[in-house]
């Protein structure tokens, strides 16, 4: 037994052992600082508030290794860039939905320029039988060519451009 202790004693007091200890301590310190740096870089990408980023970095600095582990558990799951991208996507989708209208017959979303519902074939807007342009619901005659379904006739083409006259209110 004595010889074993002596051997251990010899190893511990040998300069090689001291060197090994220094190397190990140096490696641990490098790892610790690398973890602090990693915490800073990761927190920077995930957290907007600089105060919280500072707290995360300080935690991993003050509590070597453990602080970084705690940060890794508590950190936000998503990168800021990803969150922004998703927000933009949602906004674009909302805008598209606002532009779309619901088909009065089946509820399918249709664009305002559609003349018929692609889902249930319902006519959404008619075309002027004379000039073939899209008519808004509620128009009594085609404002483009003057076709009036009630009189069932196409007016003669508007000949010589009339003098400009102030608009009068009829009706
Ligand atoms: Zn429909
Ligand atoms: Zn027309």
- Kindly state the tokens that stand for 141: 């005659």
Gap from CA of 112 to ligand 1 centroid (Å): 13
Neighbours of ion ligand 2 (CB under 5 A): 128, 130-131, 142, 144-145, 147
- Kindly state the tokens that stand for 76: 């936000």
pTM: 0.51
Gap from CA of 98 to ligand 1 centroid (Å): 17
**The total number of structural domains that make up the chain:** 2
Numbers of helices and strands, H then E, in the chain = 5, 2
Q: What is the pLDDT of residues 54-98, one digit of tens each?
A: 999 999 999 999 999 999 999 999 999 999 999 999 999 888 877
Residue 36 lies in a domain: yes
Are 10 and 74 found together in one domain?
A: yes
What is the overall mean pLDDT for the chain?
Answer: 86
Q: What is the pLDDT of residues 148-167, one digit of tens each?
A: 888 765 555 556 555 666 66
Burial of 135 (0-12, 13-18, 19+ CB in 10 A): buried
Q: What is the pLDDT of residues 110-131, one digit of tens each?
A: 888 888 999 999 988 888 989 9
Residue 128 lies in a domain: yes
Give the whole-angstrom CA distance, residue 5 versus residue 63: 35
Gap from CA of 101 to ligand 1 centroid (Å): 11
Residue 35 lies in a domain: yes
Residue 163 lies in a domain: no
Q: Could you list the residue range(s) of the whole structural domain that residue 136 is in?
A: 115-156
For 26, 33, 76, the CA distances from 60, given in Å and listed in that order, are: 18, 9, 16
Contact 122, 103 (CB under 8 A): yes
Residue 73 lies in a domain: yes
Domain boundary among 50, 78, 106: 78
Gap from CA of 108 to ligand 1 centroid (Å): 5
Residue 169 lies in a domain: no
Residue 88 lies in a domain: no
Neighbours of ion ligand 1 (CB under 5 A): 103, 105-106, 108, 117, 119-120, 122
């Amino acid at each position: 037994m004595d010889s074993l202790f002596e051997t251990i004693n010899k190893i511990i007091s040998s300069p090689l052992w001291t060197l090994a200890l220094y190397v190990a301590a140096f490696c641990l310190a490098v790892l610790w600082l690398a973890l602090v740096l990693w915490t800073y870089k990761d927190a920077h990408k995930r957290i907007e508030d600089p105060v919280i980023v500072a707290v995360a970095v300080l935690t991993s600095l003050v509590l070597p290794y453990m602080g970084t582990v705690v940060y890794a558990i508590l950190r936000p799951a998503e990168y800021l860039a990803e969150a922004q991208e998703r927000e933009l996507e949602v906004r674009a989708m909302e805008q598209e939905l606002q532009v779309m209208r619901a088909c009065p017959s089946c509820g399918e979303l249709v664009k305002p320029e559609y003349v018929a519902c692609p889902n249930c074939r319902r006519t959404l807007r008619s075309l002027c039988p004379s000039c073939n342009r899209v008519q808004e619901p509620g128009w009594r005659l085609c404002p483009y060519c003057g076709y009036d379904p009630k009189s069932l006739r196409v007016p003669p083409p508007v000949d010589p451009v009339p003098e400009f006259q102030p608009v009068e209110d009829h009706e």
